[in-house]
Structure 1
Amino acid sequence: MKLEVIVLAAGQGTRMKSSTPKVLHSIGGKPMLQRVLGKVRDLAPQRTHVVVAQNSAEVKTALHDCDVNWVVQSSQLGTGHAVLQALPQIDVASHILVLYGDCPLVTLPSLKRCVLAGQDGLGLVTAIAPDPTGLGRIVRDATGRIKKIVEHVDLTPDQQDIKEINSGILSGPAELFRRYLPQITDANVQGEIYLTDLIGKAVENEIPVATVLASDHRDVMGVNDRVQLAEAERTLQWRYAERLMRQGVSMADPRRFDCRGQIEAGKDCYFDVNVVFEGNVHLGDKVTIGPNCLLRNVQIGSHTVIKENTVIENAELGRNCAIGPFARIRPETVLADNVYIGNFVEIKKATIAAGVKAGHLAYIGDAEIGEESNIGAGAITCNFDGKTKHRTIIGDRVFVGSNSSLIAPLIIKSGAAIAAGSSINRTVAHNELVIERSKQRHIEGGGSRFRKS
C-alpha cells in the first residue's frame, strides 16, 4: 500500500496569544509539529504533506531539515478545505492518512491501526473522554455502526451523555477523498468546510467507516491554548517517568521530573525532584541525581552521585564519581572513575584521570590532569591569553595548593607540588616543589590607615 500523509498545521492558534505559530510551541523540548512528524516518519510513508498558512516562513525555517512537501492554505476555510489544497499533489492510487500538527501525544500504534482500518473505506480514530465538553461526539446506530459526528453545540439532549469523541485523525483511499470531499459545503455556523463531514458522506453512500479506539483520550488531545499545552507537557512527562520507573528507576516525585530528550538508565538509579534531562542521557546502575540538576547529553558510569544544583553538559563521567553540589561540568569534559568534583568547581574541555580531587571553588579549563592529583580551593588554569586558548597538562599525584594560578601553556610533571598562592608559568619538573610569592612585609602600625579613627 502506497501511503501519503497529510498533516494539518495552518491554524492561527489565536488562543495561544503568542507571536509564535501554535505548532512550534514545544512539549518535551520539541515543537509539537516536529513531534508529530517524528511519528509520521515511523510509518515510512511515500510522501508527507504539511499544510501551512500563507505566512508560514517561521514554521518552514524551524523544520527545514524535515523531508516534507509544504502545501500553503492561503485562507483558513476549515479542515476539509486544508486537505483539498493537498489533494492535487497526491497520487490517486495512494492511501491517505490525515492528522494534526497540534496533536503531539498521538501514538504510533493508533496511527498504524487507523491506516489499516481505512483500507476498504474510511478509518477514524476515536477516544472515550471523561469530560467531552466542546468536542464532537460519535453517534452510532443500534448495531454499533457509526452514523455521524455531531459537534458539541449541535447535540440533542439524548446525545449529551455520549463520551466517545472524534479525534479528526482519518484515513482512506485517495480516490474516496477526491470523489466526496469536493461535495462538502460550508453551510454551517462557522462557514467552513469540515473534514469530519466526509464521515457523513461515506455513511450516505454506504462506504464502510471503521473506528479505532485510542487507548487514552489524551493521545488525541489537541492543544489550543497554554493551559492545554501544560496539560500535554505533564502527560508526556508522566509517561516518561512511568516508563523509567517500570525499568527500575526510583523518583522522589514523578510529577517534578522533566525529560526533554532520551534517557537510558540502569537499575536502581534515583532521581530527586526537579531534575531536567536534555538530549541523549545514558546512566549506569545505581546513579543518584540530587535535586535541581540539569543533565544535557551526558554519559554517567555506575554508582556515581550527582549532588544538588549541578549542571553537566556534553560530558562523560566514569564510575563512582561524586560531583557537586553547585558544580558545573562543561562540554568536552571526560572524568575517569573515582573523581571527586566539589562545590563551585567548573570544568571545561578537560580530561581528568582516576582519583583526582577538586573540592572547592576551582576552574579547570583546557586541561589534562593525571591520576590521584589534588586541585586546591581557588586554583585556576589561566587558559586564555586574550586571543588563544592554551592547555595545561598536569601529571600524576600532583598537589596544587589553594589560590594558585596555572598560566597556560603549562606542564606540571608527576609528583610535583605547587605551594598555595603561587602563579606558575614555566614547566615544573618531576617531584619539584614550587613556591612563587612576593616577600611578606610587616609594617608596624600600618593597619591604622584602614580605620576611620
Structure 2
Amino acid sequence: MTQDIVILAAGKGSRMKSAFSKVLHKVGGVSMVKRVLATAQSIPNAKLHLVVGHQGQQVEQHCQDFSANVVWQNNPQGTGDALRRVAPDLQANGATLTLYGDVPLIQTSTLEKMISLSTQNTLVLLTISLDDPTGYGRIVRNAQGKVTAIVEQKDASAEEKMIQEVNTGILLAPNNHLQGWLKNLNNDNAQGEYYLTDIIAMAANDGVDIVTVNPENEAEVAGVNDRVQLAALERELQRQTAIELMQNGTSLLDPSRIDVRGELVSGQDVVIDVNCIFEGKVVLADNVEIGPNCHLKNCSVGAGTVIKSNTLIDDSQVGEYCDIGPFARLRPGTVLADKAKIGNFVETKKAHIGEGSKVNHLSYVGDTQMGQGVNVGAGTITCNYDGVNKHQTTIGDGVFIGSNSSLVAPVNVAKGATVAAGSTITKEVKQDQLAFARARQANKDNWPKPTKK
C-alpha cells in the first residue's frame, strides 16, 4: 500500500522564547524538522507532505533539500485541521502516517513496524505507558481491550485521567476511511480545535480495526515545547550515540562528555578523550587517538593518527600515522599526507603537506604545496595575501626552512634547498641552494632606552 507521510511543522512554539520557528532548533547539530524528514524519507516510496504555518517560508526554505509537498496552515486550529489541509493531496488507495516536526528522535524501525500492520481496514496507533501521563491524551479501551477512543487531558474525566497508556500523536490511517473522518471532525471541545484523535472513535464506530504499537523508548516520542526539553533530548541523543560508538569498537574515556553534531564514522580501537566535538561528517579510521578538547568538522583522519589536545580540524583530510597538535588548527582545504606532523600553535589553510614533512610549532602555512620530508622551523609564515589576492607557495622535497622565515608568495623553494633562519624570501630558491635574506647586524653603544610617556 502506498504511503503518505505528513509532518506537522506549523506551530509557533512560543515557550521556546525564540525569534524563529521551534522546528528549526537543533538536536545533535541537525534541526528537528530535518531529522523527522530524513526518517520519513527512509521509508521506501513514501510521498512526503510538510505542513507549515508560523515562519513557514523559512521552514520551507530550510527543508528544500527534501522533495516534500508543502502545505500551508495559516491560523492553525489543531492537528485535525492540519490533516484536512493536506487531504486533497493524499493518494486514493494509500495510508497516511502523521509525524511531528518537534518529535525528532522517532526511529525508522518503529515506523516500519506500524506500516507492516497497515491495511485498508486497519488504523495503527503509536502509544506508550507513562508513570506520569499528565498532559497526554489517554487511550480508552473497552472490556475486550479494544481501543475505542482517545480523550485529551482537558476533556478527560477523573477516571480517564488515571489511564497510563497515552497517545503519542503518531498514527497511520487508511486514506479510503481517513478522507471521510476528516470531513466529519468538529471543534466541540475545551480548546475549540479540530483534534485528529477524534477519528479514533469514528474508526471504532465504522468497525475499522485499531491496533497499537509501542516505541522502543520514551525519548523516541518525546516532543519539544521549551529549551529545557530540547536540552534533555540533546543529552539523550548524545547518550545513544556514545553507546553505539562504544558497541562498534570506539573507546570513550567519558561517554557523558562527547558531542556529535552530525555523523561520526569511527573505526576499531579509536580512542576519544573528554570534551570532544564532532560536526558535520567526520570519519576516523582504525587506531586514531584524539586528545581532550578537540573539535573536528567535516574531515577524515587516517589510521594510526594521533590528534593531541585542543586541536581544531575543519574541512580537511588527514593521512595515516600523522601527529597533530596540541593547539593546532587545520583550516579548510588542508591535506596532510601520511606521517606528516603539525605541532603546537600551527595554523594551515589550503595547504598540502607532503609525506613525513614537519611544521612543528608557531607557524602559518597557507595556499602552499609542500613536498616530502620538509622541515619548517618555528615562526615561519607563508605570506600568501597581498591585500587583494591570494598567492601560492611551492616547497619541494627535502627543503629545510629555518626559524622565523617569511616566504612571500608567489614563490618557489625547490627540492633540497635551505632557507637560513630569519630570512624573507621573495624570489625563487633553486634546487640545493642556500638562501639567506637578512640585514647585516649593527650594534650601537650607549643606546638610550625609551621611557614611558
CA distance in 2, matches of 1:288, 1:217: 34
Q: What residue number does 1:349 align with?
A: 350
Q: What residue number does 1:82 align with?
A: 82
Q: What residue number does 1:93 align with?
A: 93
1:102: how far off? 0.9
Instruction: Check whether the contact 2:274–2:291 (CA below 8 A) recurs between aligned residues.
Output: yes
What residue ranges of structure 2 are gaps of 5+ in the alignment? none
Single out whichever of 145-154 and 109-118 deviates more from structure 2.
145-154
Q: What residue number does 1:181 align with?
A: 182
Q: Aligned runs of 1:173-212 on 2, under 5 Å?
A: 173-212=174-213
Instruction: Check whether the contact 1:116–1:123 (CA below 8 A) recurs between aligned residues.
Output: no
Q: What residue number does 1:169 align with?
A: 170
2:4 partner letter: E
1:157: how far off? 4.7
1:328 aligns with 2:324: no
What residue ranges of structure 1 are gaps of 5+ in the alignment? none
Could you give the per-residue CA deviations for residues 321-342 of structure 1, whole angstroms, max 9, x where no partner exists?
A: 1111111101121111111111
Instruction: Check whether the contact 2:40–2:46 (CA below 8 A) recurs between aligned residues.
Output: no
Q: Aligned runs of 1:53-452 on 2, under 5 Å?
A: 53=53, 55-119=55-119, 120-446=121-447, 448-451=448-451
Single out whichever of 161-170 and 28-37 deviates more from structure 2.
161-170
Could you give the per-residue CA deviations for residues 86-133 of structure 1, whole angstroms, max 9, x where no partner exists?
A: 101223222211111111001111112222333122111112334322
1:40 aligns with 2:35: no
Could you give the per-residue CA deviations for residues 402-438 of structure 1, whole angstroms, max 9, x where no partner exists?
A: 1100011111122221111100011112222222111
CA distance in 2, matches of 1:199, 1:116: 19
Call closer, same or farther: CA 1:342–1:55 in 2, change over 3 Å.
closer
Instruction: Check whether the contact 1:290–1:306 (CA below 8 A) recurs between aligned residues.
Output: yes
Aligned length: 452
CA distance in 2, matches of 1:79, 1:287: 48
Instruction: Check whether the contact 2:21–2:55 (CA below 8 A) recurs between aligned residues.
Output: no
Could you give the per-residue CA deviations for residues 268-326 of structure 1, whole angstroms, max 9, x where no partner exists?
A: 11111221111221111111111221111111111111111111111111111111111
Q: What residue number does 2:28 align with?
A: 28
CA distance in 2, matches of 1:449, 1:205: 99
Instruction: Check whether the contact 2:155–2:190 (CA below 8 A) recurs between aligned residues.
Output: no
CA distance in 1, matches of 2:55, 2:365: 48
Instruction: Check whether the contact 2:21–2:54 (CA below 8 A) recurs between aligned residues.
Output: no
Single out whichever of 428-437 and 29-38 deviates more from structure 2.
428-437
1:153: how far off? 3.8
CA distance in 1, matches of 2:372, 2:43: 50
1:181: how far off? 2.0
1:359 partner letter: N
Normalised by the length of structure 2, the TM-score is: 0.96
CA distance in 2, matches of 1:356, 1:199: 69
1:248 partner letter: G
CA distance in 1, matches of 2:156, 2:82: 26
Instruction: Check whether the contact 2:261–2:280 (CA below 8 A) recurs between aligned residues.
Output: yes
Instruction: Check whether the contact 2:20–2:55 (CA below 8 A) recurs between aligned residues.
Output: no
Helix, strand or coil for the counterpart of 1:436? coil
Helix, strand or coil for the counterpart of 1:255? coil
Helix, strand or coil for the counterpart of 2:367? strand
Instruction: Check whether the contact 1:4–1:45 (CA below 8 A) recurs between aligned residues.
Output: no
1:253 partner letter: D
Instruction: Check whether the contact 1:302–1:319 (CA below 8 A) recurs between aligned residues.
Output: yes
Call closer, same or farther: CA 1:452–1:300 in 2, change over 3 Å.
closer
Instruction: Check whether the contact 1:393–1:410 (CA below 8 A) recurs between aligned residues.
Output: yes
Instruction: Check whether the contact 1:117–1:212 (CA below 8 A) recurs between aligned residues.
Output: no
- Give the CA RMSD over aligned residues: 1.7
Call closer, same or farther: CA 1:452–1:314 in 2, change over 3 Å.
closer
CA distance in 2, matches of 1:6, 1:429: 67
Q: What residue number does 2:7 align with?
A: 7
Normalised by the length of structure 1, the TM-score is: 0.96
CA distance in 2, matches of 1:250, 1:67: 38
Helix, strand or coil for the counterpart of 2:194? coil
1:161: how far off? 4.7
Identity of aligned residues (%): 45
Instruction: Check whether the contact 2:384–2:408 (CA below 8 A) recurs between aligned residues.
Output: yes
1:267: how far off? 0.9
1:158: how far off? 4.5
Helix, strand or coil for the counterpart of 1:35? helix
Could you give the per-residue CA deviations for residues 345-377 of structure 1, whole angstroms, max 9, x where no partner exists?
A: 011111111211111110001112222211111
CA distance in 2, matches of 1:143, 1:289: 58
Instruction: Check whether the contact 1:5–1:97 (CA below 8 A) recurs between aligned residues.
Output: yes
1:212: how far off? 0.7
